[in-house]
Amino acid sequence: MSGLGGTRQARILLAGLLVSGSMAGCEYATERDTPTDAVSPATRRPPQPADDPALAARIASNRTKLDQLLGGAPATGLVLADSVLVGGQSMGSSKTGQVPAAGQYTVTFACVGAPDAQLTVSQANQGGSEIVETAFDCGEVSEHAAKLERGPIQARLLRLESGHPSGAVAGFRITSRGR
């Protein structure tokens, strides 16, 4: 009897690992990812860019400024990058990737349209500890040198603000040093 119970427990454990593993690479929806029809018509929602031309213009302007701050994407050495709406109904994003080789990397980040934002970069193979965990002021580009190990990496951008969409955007890039 205990052998059958052990088999059942093993199957439950395996199912749990499969589910959690399949979710590990998931990205979280942001304002720009969520289709407008995914919200029930009965739910009151704040104006979306399609509904509010002023908000759409503010987002476009902030994205242009963010692109100028971060500069062009490097031709080589890019490990992970993201830019998202932050604040309002969108709290930010989480993105995962793979570091190709152990070594020194540069984490570059910026935001536009809000006073500040937060970035956390972590690797599971470094005990789950944060490699970069910082709140930063918007309007300027910031860089952080980081020693990364080969393997999975996760970066989270967010701004703790509630209310209506502000049009604020934040972005980051992780590149090989010297790129």
Domain carrying residue 67 = 27-176
The number of folded domains in the chain is 1
CATH code assigned at 114: 2.60.120.380
Whether residue 44 is contained in a domain is answered as yes
Residue 137's H or E segment, with its range, is: strand 130-137
Whether residue 10 is contained in a domain is answered as no
Residue 30, pLDDT above cutoff 80: no
Whether residue 130 is contained in a domain is answered as yes
Contact call for residues 80 and 97 (beta carbons, < 8 A): yes
Q: How far is CA 90 from CA 11, 77, 105, in A?
A: 37, 29, 28
The listed range with the strongest mean pLDDT (42-56, 84-98, 123-137) is 84-98
Q: What percent of the chain has pLDDT over 70?
A: 65
Q: How far is CA 154 from CA 55, 71, 81, 114, 165, in A?
A: 30, 22, 11, 23, 25
Distance CA 96, CA 161 (A): 23
Q: Looking at residue 144, what is its pLDDT?
A: 92
Residue 62, pLDDT above cutoff 70: yes
pTM of the predicted model as reported, rounded to 2 decimal places: 0.68
Residue 57, pLDDT above cutoff 70: yes
Residue 146, pLDDT above cutoff 50: yes
